[in-house]
Chains A and B, each alone.
Chain A
Amino acid sequence: MFENKIDEAPLWCVVPLVITASISVLLFFYPQPFLKLASLAVQTIMGG
C-alpha cells in the first residue's frame, strides 16, 4: 500500500513526538521528580 520511500511528516511535527516518546522511556529510568512529588502528596493525605 505504501511505497518503500521514507516520507515522514514535517520536521516540526516529528521532533515533538520524538521528544515525548523519549521522555516516556526516560521516565521509566528516572521517575524521581514525579514519584517524589506524588509520594509527598500522598504522605500529606494519608499521613506517615
Chain B
Amino acid sequence: MSMETILSVKPLFAVLVSLVAIPGIVSSRSQNIREAWTFGAAAIKLLLVLSMLPLVLDGNVLTFTLVQVLPDIGITFKVDAFGLLFAIVASSLWIVTSIYSIGYMRSLNEHSQTRYFSFFAVAISATIGVAFSANLLTLYLFYEMLSLATFPLVTHHQDKEARSSGRKYLFYILGGSIGLVLPAMMITYHFTGTLDFAAQGVMAGHINSGLALLLTVMFLFGFAKVGIMPMHSWLPAAMVAPTPVSALLHAVAVVKVGAFSVVRVFTGIVGTTLLSDFGINGIVCVLASITIVVASLIALSQDELKRRLAFSTIGQLSYIVLGIALLTKSGMTGGMLHIAMHAFGKITLFFCAGAIFCATGIKYISKMKGIGRRMPITMTAFLIGSLSVVGFPPCGGFISKWYLVLGTVESGNIAFLFVLLGSSFLNAAYFFRFSTMLFSAAKRR
C-alpha cells in the first residue's frame, strides 16, 4: 500500500461549508427556510467528508494549506484515517441532530432559535477543523473556536443557572487551553521547531523525560474537554443547555474533540516511543482509570437523567485515553473506535432524555417509573443506547470495548483489565437498574 499525499481543497470546503451557511441561516425569513440552510450545509458537508473516504482507505493523505501564519507553521489541513473517522461521526450526527433540534426547539417553543442554529453551525465547522488539522496550531485554533461557539449554546436559556454554568464552562475550558495547552505548545515548539503531527511524534530526541512528562500532563489536563478528573466538572454543569446541544456537543463534538486532541498530541507530538520509554503512559493510564471508576460511581448517585449521562460520558472518555495510553495495537484501535461507537450510543441516550422532557417535562429519574408504557419507542431506543454504551452485543459499543479489553490483556497489565470490567459492571448497574425500572412498572398492569 503506497502512502500518497494529495493536495486537495476538499478538507477546507468541508470545514467552511457550515460557516458559509450562516448568513443564510441568519437572513432567512421563515423557520423552514432557515432549517433548509442547515440541512443543505449538513448534507454537503457529509458528502464532502464521505467523498474522501475511498482515497483515505487506499492509504492516501489529503492536505491543504490555507495560509502561512508563522514562518514555518501554516493553517494547514490534513485528512488521514483517524481524522476522517472522527469527521464522519461528527458530520453524520450533525444531520441527525438537526432533525432532532427542529423537533425539540419548536415543540418547547425555545427563544433565539436563529442564534442557536448559527452557533451550532460554527461549532460543527470547528469540530471538522479539529479533525482535519495538520498541526497543533491549527488544532488549537479550531479547539478555541469550538469553545467560544459553544458558550452561547450552553448558556442558551440566559438565566442565572445558565450564567453560572457558563462561567464554570469557560473557567475550565478556556483556563485549560490558555493556561496549559498554549504554554505547552509553545515550549514544544521551542524545543522541537515544529508543531506538525508526525506518525511517530516530534519530541523524541529533543526533550528530556521530566519535561516530556510535564508537557504530557499539561496537554492532558489542558484539553479539559476530555474531562480527565479534576478537569471534568464543567460537563455536568453544561447540561443546562438545551438537550440537542448536550446530545451533539457534549456526547459527540465537544468532548470527542477533547479526546481526539489528546490522542493526536500523544501520538503525533509526544510520540508513542517517548511515552513508553519514559513510562509516561503508565501515569496517564492511572489518571484515566481513576476517572473511569470515580465517574462511574458518581453516575450511580445522580437522579437527574442528563447529569447521569454526563458522568457516564466522563468515564467513557477516559476509556479512549486509557486505550491509547496502553500503547498496544488493540488498545489504540479500541480507543479510536470508541470515539465512533460511544458517540452513536450516547447521542441516542441524550435524544431519549430530551424526548422524555419534551413529552412529559420530567428531568429526574425517580419520577420516570413506568414511562416505558407511555413511550415504548423512546424507551426501546434508550435500552439499545445503554447496551451500546455499556458494551453488550449486539451493539457497536461491544466492538470498541472488545478491542479495549484485548488491549489491556496485550499490555500485560491486568489491573487495567479489572478497571474496564469493573466499570462496565457499574455502567450496567446504573443503566439497567434504570431501564428495568422503566419497564417493570409496565409489567404490573
B14 at the interface (CB under 8 A from A): no
Option from B56, B93, B336, B373 in Cβ contact (under 8 Å) with A20: B93
B82 at the interface (CB under 8 A from A): yes
- CB-CB contacts of A16-31 with B at 8 A, as 1s and 0s? 1111110111111101
Q: Please, which residues of chain A bring their CB within 8 A of the CB of B104? A: 12-13
CA distance A26 to B340 in the complex (A): 13
Q: Could you count the A-B residue pairs with CB atoms below 8 Å apart for me: how many are there?
A: 182
Q: Is the CB of A33 within 8 A of B337?
A: no
Q: Please, which residues of chain B bring their CB within 8 A of the CB of A7? A: 359, 374-375
Q: Residue on A with the closest CB to B53?
A: A33
Q: Is the CB of B399 within 8 A of A35?
A: yes
Q: Is the CB of A41 within 8 A of B80?
A: yes
Q: Please, which residues of chain A bring their CB within 8 A of the CB of B114? A: none
B229 at the interface (CB under 8 A from A): no
Option from B100, B200, B333, B397 in Cβ contact (under 8 Å) with A24: B397
* CB-CB contacts below 8 Å: B314-373 with A: 329, 332-333, 336-337, 340-341, 344-345, 347-348, 351-352, 354-356, 358-359, 367, 369-371, 373
Some 28 contacts from A to B, beta carbons below 8 A apart, are A3-B373, A3-B374, A6-B374, A6-B376, A8-B355, A9-B354, A12-B107, A13-B103, A13-B107, A13-B354, A13-B358, A14-B103, A15-B103, A16-B97, A16-B100, A17-B351, A24-B395, A27-B399, A28-B396, A34-B85, A34-B337, A34-B341, A36-B81, A37-B81, A37-B84, A38-B336, A41-B336, A45-B199
A8-B359, A12-B102 are known; give 18 further A-B pairs, CB within 8 A.
Answer: A2-B371, A2-B374, A7-B374, A10-B358, A12-B106, A13-B100, A13-B107, A13-B351, A15-B99, A16-B99, A17-B352, A28-B396, A34-B89, A34-B337, A37-B57, A38-B85, A41-B82, A42-B329
